[in-house]
Chains A and B, each alone.
Chain A
Amino acid sequence: MSIAYRIVPAGDSVLVVEFEERIDPVVNAKTIACAEAIQAAASPGVRDVVPTHRSVAVYFDPLHTDTDALVEQITHAAETSAPAAHAPQEPIRIPVCYGGDLGPDLAQVATFAKLTEAEVVQLHSSATYRVFMLGFVPGFAYLGLVDQRIAMPRHATPRVRVPLGSVGIAGVQTGIYPAETPGGWQLIGRTLVKPFDSSRENPFLMKAGDAVQFYAIDRAAYDKGAAR
């Protein structure tokens, strides 16, 4: 698959492969495949390989790395890596209690979309999202793309405290807050599923490239789960 790219240094210890400058599932799939190829090569001196929406940062120790060989290897990965052609993966399904005090911005999103709250929930929970990247805090996955009709921009002034498990929308992105943090996304619901738990055998629920679906549960089911 041929997608334009360039390799640029970020200081003396990081090389960045940049693909086309857009948030796009095809560009992102290429980005993740490239990161996996670099990770799999496990060159000596490489400390971290970090894919984002459309670029891969390769962190290395310049005193223990043959930089020319690393550039060559990154070039090879950027040119030849292709997303795995295996069958579409089973999406991770996440139960969400939408609206009310658990989703304080749902009414506003409905007004923005000129739809009912039920229609917003229907649109949000009927799509299969792609994990484009993780960032912000441990386990926070940027999911997309949200239906344009409900793609409300984030709040101009972020909330000081967003509860753990809040499900939000920011433009065409949606996500779950894995910890109690400040945050500006439009909060439409909440889940009891934890995107990050360092005590779990696999602390991370999602990785870049995963597929995710949300489904609505009622308040009674949420409260029952919370009481457990």
Chain B
Amino acid sequence: MTHLTPSGPGVVVVKPGMLTTIQDSGRWGLQSRGVPVAGPMDAVSHRLANALVRNAPTAAGLEITLLGPELEFDDERVVAITGAHFDLSLDGRTMPSNAPFIVSAGARLRFGARRLGARAYLAISGGIAVPPTLGSRATHLISAMGGIGGRALVAGDVLPLGEPTDVYGSVSMPQEAIVPLPDRHARVRVLPGPQTAYFSSDALDVLQSASYVIASNSDRMGFRLEGRPLTHARGADIISDATPLGVLQVPASGQPILLMADRQTAGGYPKIATVITADMPVAGQLGPGDTIAFAVCTMREALAALITQERALMAVEARRA
């Protein structure tokens, strides 16, 4: 177990939760060297949390999965928790989601029962200041990179904190959540391609005809889906090419895999469709056993949805000024 011993202020991990990782906005620019992007599964909630505590949108915070942690602060900070709804308590007092609040030095923040959604985001004013790897603090579990030792948090870890810009000025009004939390089912929009021609002519209809179950071996790399199989027209192997966030790649079994934050940079299966950027945060709020359905949309709809989301985020970020 690696312990960081920061000279500055920190947060002690009392209980780590099921899968709590340090995530910033991702390790961009090195996919040509095989380095996965990682970053949050719900990028909008991650950014909202940062906005609420007046951090930069790219600052590192915690992604909390299904079962939350217990944390002890040794410095007074503003925090905000977005994304999945958990019962939150600060030294026994109930605290709200989507609203910044002050945690005083010595206080304990505890995540209790989860009500809705799969992943919560905790931002702390000043951000988590672990040393970056290849320009990012995002944890990538498979390549053991970023965060603390490239792994999920364990009890006893100490999270070093950066210098907050302005502690008290950052306490603002609670916000409406920007990502609608799914109740164990979500319908997301897709754009066909990039390799729709590798499938039978009815494959896109089949994809949209019924929900798929997210299998138990799904993780931050990808959601393995179980449902109506998709039929290949030209075999299940392609010459390996890039694998963007949100693509539905389909191996020989015909069961699609939705590629998520920790996906590899390239892969050799044909890709029938791609979930639009604006709907990936909703997908990121699903977990194993939940269901997902797909609906083809137009590029125009995809961009309109993204602009609506961006306006909501910018409205919160503008209040930082």
Measuring CB to CB, which residues of chain A are less than 8 angstroms from any residue of chain B? 8-14, 16, 18, 21-23, 35, 47-55, 57, 59, 62-63, 133-142, 179, 181, 196, 198, 203-204, 207-208
Q: Which residue of A lies closest to B238 (CB)?
A: A21
Contacts A47-B29, A50-B32 given; indicate if A137 touches B266 (C-beta within 8 A).
no
CA distance A142 to B239 in the complex (A): 12
Task: Output the least CB separation between B119 and chain A (Å).
Answer: 21
CB < 8 Å A-B pair total: 130
Task: Output the least CB separation between A133 and chain B (Å).
Answer: 7
Contact assessment for A21 and B29 in the assembled complex, using a CB-CB cutoff below 8 Å: no
Contact residue among A12, A35, A50 (Cβ-Cβ distance under 8 Å from B191): A12
Q: Which residue of B lies closest to A173 (CB)?
A: B240
Name the B residues within 8 Å of A57 (CB-CB): 31, 241-242, 244
In the assembled complex, B193 has its CB within 8 A of some CB on chain A: yes
Contact residue among A21, A59, A134, A181 (Cβ-Cβ distance under 8 Å from B33): A134
Contacts A21-B239, A208-B32 given; indicate if A52 touches B143 (C-beta within 8 A).
no
Name the B residues within 8 Å of A8 (CB-CB): 193-194
Contacts A47-B29, A63-B306, A208-B32 given; indicate if A14 touches B242 (C-beta within 8 A).
yes
Contact assessment for B299 and A12 in the assembled complex, using a CB-CB cutoff below 8 Å: yes
Q: Mark B81-111, 1 if CB is under 8 A from A, else 0.
A: 0000000000000000000000000000000
Q: Which residue of A lies closest to B273 (CB)?
A: A11
Contact assessment for A10 and B33 in the assembled complex, using a CB-CB cutoff below 8 Å: no
Task: Output the least CB separation between A124 and chain B (Å).
Answer: 22
Name the A residues within 8 Å of B274 (CB-CB): 10-12, 14
Q: Which residue of B lies closest to A203 (CB)?
A: B134
In the assembled complex, B35 has its CB within 8 A of some CB on chain A: yes
Contacts A49-B32, A138-B143 given; indicate if A54 touches B239 (C-beta within 8 A).
yes
22 A-B residue contacts at CB 8 Å?
A8-B193, A9-B193, A10-B194, A11-B247, A11-B275, A14-B242, A16-B241, A48-B29, A48-B32, A48-B37, A50-B265, A53-B239, A57-B241, A59-B31, A59-B244, A134-B32, A135-B267, A138-B143, A140-B34, A142-B240, A179-B143, A207-B33
